[in-house]
Amino acid sequence: MAPPTTNSTQVAEKPHLTILLAAPRGFCAGVDRAIQIVELALQKFGAPVYVRHEIVHNKFVVDELRAKGAVFVDELDEIPETDQPVIFSAHGVAKSVPAAAQARNMFYLDATCPLVTKVHREAERHHEAGHHILLIGHEGHPEVIGTMGQLPPGAVSLIETVADAEAFEAPPGQELAYATQTTLSVDDTAEVVAALKRRFPRIAGPHKQDICYATTNRQEAVGAIAQRADAMIVVGAPNSSNSQRLVEVGERAGCGTSMLVQRATDIPWERFDGISTLGISAGASAPEVLVQEIIDAFRGRFDVTLEEVEVAREQIAFNVPRQLRDVAAE
């Protein structure tokens, strides 16, 4: 009897990899609402729907909406005379923007996150009470531009770092109040606030912290998994503030490699040689489909075990503008 034939070409076993999946991750209620506003406006009014700036900071999301008929512009003067909707992004806008839209009789919808609007109202109240406002945030970020644009020039000073807080000279005889961008590092912001309170004990602050629940939850989740991981991937865009902060949280937790990745095609595989545990999270504007795409890419190279690490459960949802609620109810 002939011996059984053997296949001389043996498939090498994939190395084992445990992926720790942060929860919560990805879309927050404000981002979900903003995307819904564009999609519902397209459904109700047809294309084109104009959007000032990226509706959220994610190229994949923007490209998908563009394919459906959204037209993204930097400024309102790029929009021709039209009866079609004009949508303001989730990050919020200065008061001059809706004023310019009204001057042109534009039909506009505001997709500003309600938690950003809360910061706007707080800043206005402090200003009305005679306070000079210190805004803790990143210069040039759309949310910071929008918040500073709620008040007259000179009414708000931007504080980015502890050094800025130490160097700030208060206007003579004026009380101070502070507000913060919603997507900052919780730890960094606490240090800046502590410096301000030490220097200006009478400084007023928000009733509740301005850093939003989603930013806080995602940072806590990354902190929980980064301590156990050899490497950390945050799915998000380079211009996404909250995604960049998640990368920093991973680094501070002691993770040797903590990096931002937009898509599976962007993975620098040489950085993941020899790892046995990988943490994955996603910024608040990154869709879950991109997380799954990256997991699938690792499955192609590793024998993957998934473990979800949940630190909070989010059940918050925000209403869309009343002009779209009939379509949303369908």
Residues 6+ apart with CB under 8 A from 113: 30, 31, 33, 34, 90, 91, 92, 182, 212, 318
Give the 3-state secondary structure of residue 291: helix
Rounded CA-CA distance 292/288 in Å is 6
143 counts as catalytic: yes
**Total number of residues shown for the chain:** 330
Q: Residue 125 in contact with residue 187, Cβ under 8 Å?
A: no
Phi, psi of 109, rounded to the nearest 5 degrees: -125, 135
Q: Residue 204 in contact with residue 126, Cβ under 8 Å?
A: yes
Rounded CA-CA distance 219/252 in Å is 11
Catalytic residue among 143, 220, 248, 330: 143
Of 127, 293, 269, which Cα lies nearest the Cα of 280? 293
Residue 59 half-sphere exposure toward CB, CA atoms < 13 A: 8
In terms of Cβ atoms closer than 10 Å to its own Cβ (0-12, 13-18, 19+), residue 47 is exposed
Rounded CA-CA distance 48/327 in Å is 17
In terms of Cβ atoms closer than 10 Å to its own Cβ (0-12, 13-18, 19+), residue 10 is exposed
Angle at 319 between CA 109 and CA 139, to 5 degrees: 60
Q: Residue 255 in contact with residue 279, Cβ under 8 Å?
A: yes
Amino acid at 7: N
176: number of Cβ within 10 Å: 20
Report the catalytic residues: 143
